[in-house]
């Protein structure tokens, strides 16, 4: 794999958000020399880390998943395949860094929640729904009906669960599909679909949708966890703990190294264990392939360590501070309007937010959403696989534009939600209803890609920069960050479902009623 090509693509993804933050930090939202310095260094680390990580994924992680899925399917032993699918989903989720971060965040705002109890429920949810997704592929069950039934069940569980778990539940669906989970699960699905397509009339739409199905599992699991606990008292003590600034300057990156090293080690350990187990019992690959995969795993490890150090050490502090400054600007220009009754007496005073700062904040949110999604590692994995499976018919650039538009809208809505304080349900219910409705008009291939995209769009960049930015805005505008800010990951995971399916419908119309879309599915 060409390192220079990967590096060039990564620079093109990360550089725009760096330019945006630097321009804002030097003009309307001064971040200060130290924060700016850390942000720039963090951006450089993100670029190099993402480049190396993607190389490692191509060399080491994707081949393991594809070969494992193909080998398990070729055994024609359905119980073995489904049992292995649950094992893979469960083990990878426990070690997923984003899940660890989310559990720590929940623990910080609700002390009664057990971190490992929450993680085990999430892991079981992923394992169960990965198994369901593999069963769907083997039996050629329609993806849209699986999604409709699953989401109806999830929303029913959500309404029954305590309110403090609802936003966390939908956020967990996005956080679970991180840089370790997505490549392996997607490759597993592609491997299973490849074996089936060689022995039956199967199209490439079976290659996608597994990540989308898997991301439903954590939502259902967290809702069920909340129902079983019935701990509404925790909601009364919600409070966001502010990060301590004990470490300053560039030494913060070195301070992060031990913890990041531990997180990534935990993330890779299950993959190494499973790869070793499958090699001994199932794959039996020749030595040169084993060496190649080991090299890929090493590159993935190094790349992810560097990437997370840059994101946590530079992007998160800058994102939160930028959000605080812009949030403060949106309320500093408020105007009081005195209201008189018919007799000329003062009845009340209304505080009307200044329109210009709020519009500016919304525009910044749109810009950040459009740019950040392109820096997500899993997004690059997905778009590469889509272009490959479709034989180049579905271009990566077109996918990135559609994803950027969807995520931009979600961040803009999140900013409006923080400012005006309306319920998350006002967006999630109609949004998912529209997403499921579009499955009846969208080509099957694009439906699978869309629901995979919802998971991969909400990765480490969203959990670090975007969530930190939203927390900063909420804190500065006087809202409750624990209530208003959480849910942004859920919105980021939802809007690509709509954007990609609309792209599929447009593709279907332009190709003459779907003939080209069907041809693409058959050829891929």
Model confidence band, residue 249 (pLDDT cutoffs 50, 70, 90): low
pLDDT in tens, 79-90: 888 888 898 888
Q: Which residues pair with 340 in a beta bridge?
A: 346
Return d(Cα 494, Cα 438) in angstroms, integer.
13
Helix (H), strand (E) at residue 337:
strand 335-340
Contact 35, 268 (CB under 8 A): no
pLDDT in tens, 165-182: 887 888 888 878 776 677
CA distances from 299 to 226, 378, 393 (A): 39, 16, 30
Mean of the pLDDT values across residues 140-149? 88
**What's the predicted TM-score (pTM) here?**
0.76
Model confidence band, residue 240 (pLDDT cutoffs 50, 70, 90): very low
| Res 99: pLDDT | 83
* Calculated CA dihedral for residues 304, 310, 315, 317, nearest 10 degrees: 120
Return d(Cα 173, Cα 22) in angstroms, integer.
31
| Res 341: pLDDT | 55
Model confidence band, residue 124 (pLDDT cutoffs 50, 70, 90): very high
Q: Is the pLDDT of residue 151 over 60?
A: yes
DSSP string, 192-242: HHHHHHHHS---GGGGSSHHHHHTHHHHHHHHHHHHHH--GGGGGG--PPP
Alpha-carbon radius of gyration of the chain: 23
φ and ψ at residue 308, rounded to 5 degrees: -70, -35
Quick one: three-class SS letters along 145-190? HHHHHHHHHHHHHHHHCCHHHHHHHHHHHHHHCCCCHHHHHHHHHH
Please tell me the total number of residues recorded for the chain in this structure: 524
Picking from 252-261, 403-412, 431-440, 505-514, which range would have the lowest pLDDT averaged per residue?
505-514
Name the most confidently modeled range: 159-173, 437-451, 459-473. 437-451
Mean of the pLDDT values across residues 491-498? 86
Mean of the pLDDT values across residues 17-34? 88
Q: Is the pLDDT of residue 102 over 80?
A: no
pLDDT in tens, 269-284: 877 887 888 788 877 8
Q: Which residues pair with 302 in a beta bridge?
A: none
pLDDT in tens, 129-143: 999 988 888 888 888
Mean of the pLDDT values across residues 497-524? 69
Return d(Cα 352, Cα 292) in angstroms, integer.
62
Contact 466, 319 (CB under 8 A): yes
| pLDDT higher at 115 or 49 | 49
| Res 334: pLDDT | 54
Q: Which residues contact 34 (CB under 8 A, 6 or more apart)?
A: 248, 249
In eight-state DSSP terms, residue 390 is T
Q: Is the pLDDT of residue 100 over 70?
A: yes
* Calculated CA dihedral for residues 162, 168, 169, 174, nearest 10 degrees: 170
Q: Is the pLDDT of residue 237 over 50?
A: no
Contact 396, 12 (CB under 8 A): no
Return d(Cα 452, Cα 181) in angstroms, integer.
12
Tell me if residue 103 falls in helix, strand or coil: helix
Q: Is the pLDDT of residue 433 over 90?
A: yes
Mean of the pLDDT values across residues 496-511? 83
pLDDT in tens, 304-351: 899 888 888 888 888 888 988 888 877 665 555 555 555 555 555 555
Model confidence band, residue 524 (pLDDT cutoffs 50, 70, 90): very low
Q: Is the pLDDT of residue 36 over 50?
A: yes
Contact 470, 323 (CB under 8 A): yes
| Res 436: pLDDT | 93
Mean of the pLDDT values across residues 14-26? 87
Return d(Cα 48, Cα 310) in angstroms, integer.
9
Q: Which residues contact 306 (CB under 8 A, 6 or more apart)?
A: 45, 48, 49, 52
Picking from 66-75, 190-199, 374-383, which range would have the lowest pLDDT averaged per residue?
190-199
Return d(Cα 335, Cα 329) in angstroms, integer.
13
Contact 176, 121 (CB under 8 A): no
Computed over every residue of the chain, the mean pLDDT equals 78
Q: Is the pLDDT of residue 153 over 60?
A: yes
| Res 267: pLDDT | 72
Model confidence band, residue 390 (pLDDT cutoffs 50, 70, 90): low
Model confidence band, residue 302 (pLDDT cutoffs 50, 70, 90): very high
Picking from 2-6, 48-52, 296-300, 383-387, which range would have the lowest pLDDT averaged per residue?
383-387
Contact 51, 303 (CB under 8 A): yes
């Amino acid at each position: 794999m060409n390192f220079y090509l990967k590096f060039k693509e990564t620079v093109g993804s990360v550089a725009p958000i760096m330019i945006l933050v630097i321009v804002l930090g030097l003009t309307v939202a001064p971040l200060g020399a130290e924060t700016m310095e850390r942000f720039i260094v963090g951006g450089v680390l993100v670029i190099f880390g993402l480049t190396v990580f993607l190389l490692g994924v191509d060399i080491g992680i994707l081949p393991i998943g594809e070969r494992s899925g193909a080998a398990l399917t070729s055994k024609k032993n359905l119980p073995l395949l489904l049992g292995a699918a649950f094992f893979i989903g469960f083990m990878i989720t426990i070690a997923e860094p984003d899940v660890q971060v989310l559990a720590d965040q929940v623990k910080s705002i609700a002390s009664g929640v057990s971190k490992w109890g929450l993680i085990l429920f999430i892991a079981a949810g992923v394992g169960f729904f990965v198994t369901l997704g593999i069963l769907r592929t083997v039996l050629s069950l329609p993806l849209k009906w699986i999604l409709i039934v699953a989401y109806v069940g999830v929303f029913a569980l959500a309404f029954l669960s305590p309110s403090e778990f609802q936003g966390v539940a939908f956020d967990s669906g996005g956080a679970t599909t991180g840089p370790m989970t997505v490549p392996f699960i997607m490759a597993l699905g592609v491997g299973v679909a490849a074996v089936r397509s060689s022995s039956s009339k199967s199209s490439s739409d079976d290659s996608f949708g597994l990540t989308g199905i898997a991301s439903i599992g954590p939502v259902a699991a967290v809702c069920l966890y909340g129902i079983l606990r019935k701990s509404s008292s925790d909601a009364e003590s919600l409070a966001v703990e502010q990060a301590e600034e004990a470490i300053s300057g560039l030494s913060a990156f070195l301070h992060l190294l031990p913890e990041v090293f531990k997180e990534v080690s935990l993330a890779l350990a299950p993959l190494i264990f499973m790869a070793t187990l499958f090699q001994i019992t199932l794959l039996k690959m020749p030595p040169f392939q084993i060496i190649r995969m080991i090299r890929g795993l090493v590159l993935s490890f190094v790349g992810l360590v560097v990437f997370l150090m840059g994101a946590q050490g530079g992007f998160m502090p800058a994102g939160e501070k930028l959000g605080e400054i812009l949030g403060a600007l949106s309320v500093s220009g408020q105007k009081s309007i005195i209201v008189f009754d018919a007799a000329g007496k003062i009845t009340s005073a209304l505080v009307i937010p200044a329109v210009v700062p709020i519009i500016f904040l919304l525009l910044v949110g749109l810009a950040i959403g459009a740019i950040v999604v392109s820096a997500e590692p899993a997004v690059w994995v997905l778009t590469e696989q889509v272009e490959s499976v479709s034989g180049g018919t579905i271009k990566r650039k077109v996918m990135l534009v559609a994803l950027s538009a969807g995520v931009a809208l979600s961040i803009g809505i999140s900013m409006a939600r923080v400012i005006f304080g309306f319920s998350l349900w006002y967006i999630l219910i109609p949004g998912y209803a529209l997403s499921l409705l579009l499955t009846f008009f969208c080509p099957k291939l694009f439906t699978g890609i869309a629901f995979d995209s919802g998971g991969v769009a909400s990765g480490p960049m969203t959990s670090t920069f975007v969530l930190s930015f939203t927390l900063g805005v909420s804190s500065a505008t006087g809202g409750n960050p624990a209530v208003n800010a959480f849910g942004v990951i859920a919105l980021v995971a939802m809007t690509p479902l709509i954007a990609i399916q609309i792209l599929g419908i447009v593709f279907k119309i332009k190709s003459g009623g779907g003939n080209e879309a069907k041809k693409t599915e058959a050829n891929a």
